[in-house]
Structure 1
Amino acid sequence: MNATNSQSPTIVLVHGALTDASVWHGVIRLTQAAGHHVVAPSLPLRGLASDAAYLESVPGPIVLVAHSYAGSVISHPATLDPKVKALVFIAAFQPDAGESSAELNERFPGSKLGPATTTVVPRPGGNDMYLKPEAFGEVYAGDVAPDVVSVMAAAQRPIDPAALGETLPARATWHDLPSWALVSTRDLSLPPQLLGFTARRAESHIVEVESSHAVPVSHPREVTEVVLEAVRCALS
């Protein structure tokens, strides 16, 4: 393994709903092997504003990398800070002011996330939403080995569905920072049409990968290449 480059920004890998930081394990191994400092915090997944605030404790400089719902988190104006040098959206939402994850996902056809494939369980102070285990492979991880899908389905980190309905209170961060977007073209969670639309709107550098929504798991090398390109930009 190469020595960590102290001049490089920290790569902050932010997981989305229904998974935890383990979704990044392959990307972590590759970015560490390339000599970079990486952290992968566990989001509370209890509210968009509170999840954005949770990231404020990471010291800079940083490159924020988001998967899925976490794209809304790093788009939140609360994360706009001089320490953030670039944004990377991996099969992720890129909302703007007044938009929510839920509304964006319903705007375009193709998502199989919905009442038929999810279940909501009450908890003290809110609700937890899970993807039904029997639907996890088809909806989330269609190109992942069945034994890995089984583990992912069993180890889900639920999200309070209220977080998906929270809107950005002001202009998104991607207006003011360089950004990259990986579009997963076989995605049945976030429609590829949605991912392409928001990436073009944000004028992100776009890379397409023939993948399910679980692209950090099924294509860690391609994801890492996008992340490292953003890091190189941040260093220039």
Structure 2
Amino acid sequence: MTSSTKPTLVLVHGAWADSASFAAVTATLQLEGYNVLLAPNPLRGVESDTKAVSDFVAQATSGPVVLAAHSYGGVLITGAAAALPQVKALVYIDAYAPDDGESATTLSNALPGSLLNVPDPTTVFDFVLPAADAPQGDYDSYIKRDKFHEIFAETLPKTESNLLAAGQAPATLAALGTPFTGTPAWKSLPSWYFVGRVDRVIPEAQQRAMAERAGSVVVDGHAPHLSMLAEPVKVSRLIVEAATSITRS
């Protein structure tokens, strides 16, 4: 494929992270000659965040697109792609691939193993209330810094994990708890799924269940929730496989 025939690759980060979590993957894909764009994800709520991704893709791209997302970003591409005819493939990276009525929180807790599934959320989260009159759903959540390595980045060096913990992008409780509504794009689009085998946010079994339900091509690796940083080459290859499939179809 020449650069002019390759699809645009749009990457969407998840909660408690930002576009820098895709830095190694972005660099690898750019070396492969792809146009790579990092979509905004405000982490404020499912409806508004999905619209932010959809508006970005609609206005920042031309030609076919592969949407790839990590974690909560999977909820957004599942909704946004349904209204974007230029999106030809989906890639989920340790990501939520919800069906109608499912939220990130319910999917994390559907099967045993998530370290976020605790009776008292204050044991794993720090909360910040931006305004005195804000509703409960507007609390910003952060993974506790001293638990970030265990929960989010177990196989990464602690020095790297500490930097990531310090720079978390907060997610509102509403964003995580609001159910996806509508027909998920994975029902009509081909999808690929990278499973992190030591993910402590979305248990491996739950990732595989979502991937099987979506009919995704699955690749796995010995990676924590931040698999793009732990296994950037494998993740990049999976995205390239999805991109290549577009040109063959």
Q: TM-score range by the shorter chain?
A: over 0.9
Match of 1:123 among 102, 109, 130: 130
- 1:77 touches 1:170 (CA, 8 Å); kept in 2? no
| Partner secondary structure for residue 76 of structure 1 | helix
Matched residue, 1:48: 46
Match of 2:103 among 100, 104, 123: 100
Question: Following superposition of structure 1 onto structure 2, how do residues 66-77 of structure 1 map, counting pairs within 5 Å?
Answer: 66-76=69-79
Matched residue, 1:211: 223
Matched residue, 1:143: 155
**Inter-partner Cα distance in structure 2 for 1:22 and 1:158:** 14
> Given the two structures, how large is their TM-score scaled by the length of structure 1?
0.95
- Give the deviation of 1:81 after TM superposition: 1.5
User: What is the one-letter code of the residue matched to 1:42?
Assistant: P
Unaligned runs of 5+ in 1: none
Matched residue, 1:229: 241
| Partner secondary structure for residue 82 of structure 1 | coil
Identity of aligned residues (%): 36
| Partner secondary structure for residue 188 of structure 1 | coil
- 1:75 touches 1:173 (CA, 8 Å); kept in 2? yes
- Give the deviation of 1:10 after TM superposition: 0.9
- 2:82 touches 2:184 (CA, 8 Å); kept in 1? no
How many residues were matched structurally?
A: 234
RMSD: 1.5
- Give the deviation of 1:194 after TM superposition: 0.7
- 1:4 touches 1:32 (CA, 8 Å); kept in 2? no
**Inter-partner Cα distance in structure 1 for 2:174 and 2:148:** 21
Unaligned runs of 5+ in 2: none
| Partner secondary structure for residue 91 of structure 1 | strand
- 2:195 touches 2:219 (CA, 8 Å); kept in 1? yes
- 2:9 touches 2:65 (CA, 8 Å); kept in 1? yes
- Give the deviation of 1:80 after TM superposition: 3.3
Q: 1:74 to 1:192 in 2, by over 3 A?
A: same
**Inter-partner Cα distance in structure 2 for 1:165 and 1:52:** 14
- Runs of 4+ more than 2 Å apart: 77-80
- 1:110 touches 1:191 (CA, 8 Å); kept in 2? yes
Match of 1:164 among 162, 171, 176: 176
**Inter-partner Cα distance in structure 1 for 2:81 and 2:210:** 20
> Given the two structures, how large is their TM-score scaled by the length of structure 2?
0.90
